[in-house]
Amino acid sequence: MNTMVEDLLAVAKAGTGDGPNEEVDLAVELEAVKELLAARIAETEATITVGALPTVVGDRRQLRQLLQNLLGNALKFQREGVKPEVHVDVTDAGPFVELTVRDNGIGIDAEHHERIFRIFSRLHVREQYEGTGIGLALCQRIAAHHGGNIRVVESSPEGTTFGVKLPRS
Ligand SMILES: Nc1ncnc2c1ncn2[C@@H]1O[C@H](COP(=O)(O)OP(=O)(O)OP(=O)(O)O)[C@@H](O)[C@H]1O
Ligand SMILES: [Mg+2]
């Protein structure tokens, strides 16, 4: 319950504050997130590979939360008997960089690609995969707060790629 309240507070706060105003090395933040999720990574025997992530101007705390949610989901929604393989990378998107998080999990039907970003929107009962459905809503607020956006780039029963566009610094 406490986590849920904290998450809701984070959602409420995501659009406020000083705004993106510091140089944030996404490679450093991703390493920190891997530390935070170390138990889960070990438990699932996940492999995480990371491309050359850039530095962006942003709010460090928020960008770390965003990475934590996306990586956490990539580890959580795994196919039965398939070890998670997650690849984090960046692609060029004109004035933006698009951070991509690709997994080999259960996938998301195209009809749900919009709805999953709404608060409390989940595609599974809690007994199946734990969670409250706040993570992606928070990611969306954070991306918007940075002048960017988040989307499902592609998804199939073999896995999903999320993309987060952030202004190039
Ligand atoms: N990588 C993914 N693969 C498959 N389904 C996903 C993935 N990420 C999100 N989803 C679907 O989108 C829903 C919403 O994701 P979100 O992160 O908001 O919530 P959650 O992970 O269920 O809970 P919370 O993040 O609050 O712990 C999930 O419940 C799941 O159904
Ligand atoms: Mg989540």
> Going from the N-terminus, what domains does the chain have, and what CATH number goes with each?
2-167 (3.30.565.10)
Q: How confident is the model at residue 17 (pLDDT cuts 50, 70, 90)?
A: low
Please determine, for residue 12, whether its predicted confidence score (pLDDT) is greater than 90: no
- What are the C-alpha distances in Å from 121 to residues 21, 46, 76, 117, 136? 31, 26, 16, 7, 9
Of residues 101 and 5, more confidence is placed in 101
CA of 28 to the centre of ligand 1 (A): 24
Q: How many angstroms separate the CA atoms of 32 and 123, rounded?
A: 29
What mean pLDDT do residues 79-102 have? 97
Beta bridge partners of 163: 100, 151
Is the minimum distance from the CB of 105 to ligand 1 under 6 angstroms? yes
Nearest CA to ligand 1 atom 1: 74
Q: Is the pTM of this model over 0.75?
A: yes
Ligand with the closest atom to the CA of 74: 1
Higher-confidence position of 90 and 132? 90
Distance CA(15)–CA(157), nearest Å, equals 34
